[in-house]
């Protein structure tokens, strides 16, 4: 158990809808990273937050947004969903150089 909690485990929704993925980092970790894993793109870095502030941005679509709250949990919001957004979304946290991954949220867009 990595100590990183992601909810929900599975999410099935329709095109055009909006969903929110939630991540609780390991106790004491200030950084949260979001990754998207799809068959064609592999593991892609989306965005990083550190102690509530956006720190780095990767291949995140404009339809996607994230935030980190004062209690350090983070949410990834995906809107106007398309079939191609179906993927496994990982959250990871770090405190000392090693990323600890949650078990992911599998999003299926139908």
Partner 1 sequence: AQKITQTQPGMFVQEKEAVTLDCTYDTSDPSYGLFWYKQPSSGEMIFLIYQGSYDQQNATEGRYSLNFQKARKSANLVISASQLGDSAMYFCAMREGGGGGSNYKLTFGKGTLLTVNP
Which residues 66-95 are close enough to bind partner 1 by CB under 8 A?
88, 90, 92, 94
Any contact of residue 42 with partner 1 (CB under 8 A)?
yes
Q: Could you say which of 2, 5, 20, 38 contacts partner 1 (CB under 8 A)?
A: 2
Any contact of residue 22 with partner 1 (CB under 8 A)?
no
Which residue pairs, CB below 8 angstroms and at least 24 apart, start in 22-26? 22/73, 22/74, 22/75, 23/73, 23/74, 23/75, 23/76, 23/91, 23/93, 23/102, 24/72, 24/73, 25/72, 25/73, 25/74, 25/91, 25/93, 26/2, 26/93, 26/95, 26/100
Any contact of residue 5 with partner 1 (CB under 8 A)?
no
Q: Do strands 10-13 and 105-109 pair parallel, antiparallel, or not at all (unpaired)?
A: parallel
**Of the ranges 19-27, 63-71, 77-85, 99-107, which one interacts with partner 1 (CB under 8 A)?**
99-107
Tokens of 94: 């770090």
- Decide whether 52 or 65 has the Cβ nearer to partner 1: 52
Q: Could you say which of 5, 13, 30, 67 contacts partner 1 (CB under 8 A)?
A: 30
Residues in contact with partner 1 by CB under 8 A are 2, 30-31, 33, 42-43, 45, 48, 50-51, 55-56, 58, 88, 90, 92, 94, 97-104, 106
């Amino acid at each position: 158990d990595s100590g990183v909690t992601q909810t929900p485990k599975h999410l099935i929704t329709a095109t055009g809808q909006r969903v929110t993925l939630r991540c609780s980092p390991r106790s004491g970790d200030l950084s949260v990273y979001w990754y998207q894993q799809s068959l064609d793109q592999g593991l892609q870095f989306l965005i990083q937050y550190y102690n509530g502030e956006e720190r780095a941005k990767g291949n995140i679509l404009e339809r996607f947004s994230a935030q980190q709250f004062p209690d350090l949990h983070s949410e990834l919001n995906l809107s106007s969903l398309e079939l191609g957004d179906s993927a496994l979304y990982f959250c990871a946290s770090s405190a000392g150089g090693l990323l600890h991954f949650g078990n992911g949220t599998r999003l299926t867009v139908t």
